[in-house]
Amino acid sequence: MIKRRVTKRIKVGNIYIGGDAPITVQTMTKTDTRDVFATIKQILNLESKGCEAIRIAVPDFEAVKNLGTIKRAVKIPIIADIHFNWKLALEAIKQGADQIRINPGNIGAKWKVYEIIASAKDYNIPIRIGVNAGSLEKELLLKYGHPTPEALFESAEGHIKIFAEMDFHNIEVSLKASDVLMTLDAYRLFSSKYDYPLHIGISEAGPPSTGIIKSSVGIGILLFEGIGDTIRVSLTAPPEEEIRVAYEILKSLGIRKRGPEIISCPTCGRCKIDLQALVTKVEESLKEIDEPITVAVMGCVVNGPGEAREADFGIAGGKKMGLIFRKGSVIKKVKEEDILKSLLEVISEYSGSSL
């Protein structure tokens, strides 16, 4: 059982982050924010996949003017991602952003941060202090020589002190690096001293082939240590894939449930059906299901019946045939070519959706 570290709770639009709120899943749009239609379309699709908050890049004034229209068209909270120009933050707040993310490394003079805080106070919205190893303040790079967990921590702490001067505590913090061990130590250091809610993730984790592994290891370890209130998986891939992976991480640690969990064996010399093809088809057929069901797809009688019995639904392969299980009982014996159809029929009956 994972014991989550106690953090303060903040409200971001219609969700809570931190405290006893569920660990939420978020991502970032990858459309040009100036293209309102494409951005709204992407967010609506992400909402349907379980995205619970969306960050949007605000690179210029043309982009920021669209935030209000985007916000009105979607349900999930909008987080405006601001770099370099503090005036974009003020306009994003006016447009109705539910949270502002600023990067301490590039927002500039203290008075600019004060301006952003004053506006966030007026509109009663939280700010994320989003520290990134790739854009640390020059002084910290000089002091430490290169990004380190201590430098990430110090960057966040420096901004927390500025926020405290204005008695502003409606804060969330992230301390990301593309290096997993650096990220882990930075979050550990931070959470040993502060109880602000934490947005966690591995920055610039890479393409799916390696990025999913880095993210799963990094985010998984932090969550296991009880650290993290909202997660973002950063992949060079469509944002829907980031959401899928984020839920898989949460599911694998028993933190959240969403959609099917497929248990399938690696196959071996005992397998007498084309299990790899079958699993691919099962996964594809079930990808739109939101209900948390477990489906075991197993190659033979060694572990097959055991796993299939424990799952909500399952099949155990035999010699060119399969046994179909539902809630622990064998309900059918079918030919290999009918396994997929029969399994989907049984799941359909249960879920009420046509597969």
- Closest contact distance (angstroms) between CB of 268 and ligand SF4 is 3
Q: Which of residues 34-73 bind ligand SF4 (CB under 6 A)?
A: none
Element spanning 180, H or E = helix 180-193
**Closer residue to ligand SF4 (CB): 50 or 306:** 306
Looking at this protein, which amino acid is placed at residue 105?
Answer: G
DSSP-assigned beta bridge partners for residue 330 = 325
**Closer residue to ligand SF4 (CB): 254 or 266:** 266
CA angle 122, 58, 17 (to 5 degrees): 55
- Closest contact distance (angstroms) between CB of 311 and ligand SF4 is 13
Q: Which one, of 98, 99, 101, lies nearest residue 86 by Cα?
A: 101
Question: For the residues of 220-266, what is the DSSP string, one character each?
Answer: HHHHHTT--SEE----SS-HHHHHHHHHHHHHHTTS---S-EEEE--
CA angle 274, 332, 262 (to 5 degrees): 50
Residue 267 binds to ligand SF4 (criterion: CB under 6 A): yes
Question: How far apart are alpha carbons 172 and 100 in whole angstroms?
Answer: 10
> Distance of CA 61 to CAs 54, 95, 135, 287, Å?
19, 12, 22, 38
Q: Which of residues 80-119 bind ligand SF4 (CB under 6 A)?
A: none
**Closer residue to ligand SF4 (CB): 46 or 300:** 300
**Closer residue to ligand SF4 (CB): 45 or 267:** 267
- Number of residue whose CB is nearest ligand SF4: 299
Q: Which of residues 292-311 bind ligand SF4 (CB under 6 A)?
A: 298-300, 302-304
Size of the site for ligand SF4 (CB under 6 A): 12
**Closer residue to ligand SF4 (CB): 50 or 305:** 305
Residue 268 binds to ligand SF4 (criterion: CB under 6 A): yes
Residue 265 binds to ligand SF4 (criterion: CB under 6 A): yes
Q: Which of residues 133-192 bind ligand SF4 (CB under 6 A)?
A: none
**Closer residue to ligand SF4 (CB): 78 or 278:** 278
User: In this chain, which stretch among 5-13, 28-36, 185-193, 262-270 interacts with ligand SF4, using CB under 6 A?
Assistant: 262-270
Question: How far apart are alpha carbons 186 and 180 in whole angstroms?
Answer: 10
Residues that bind ligand SF4 (CB under 6 A): 265-268, 270-271, 298-300, 302-304
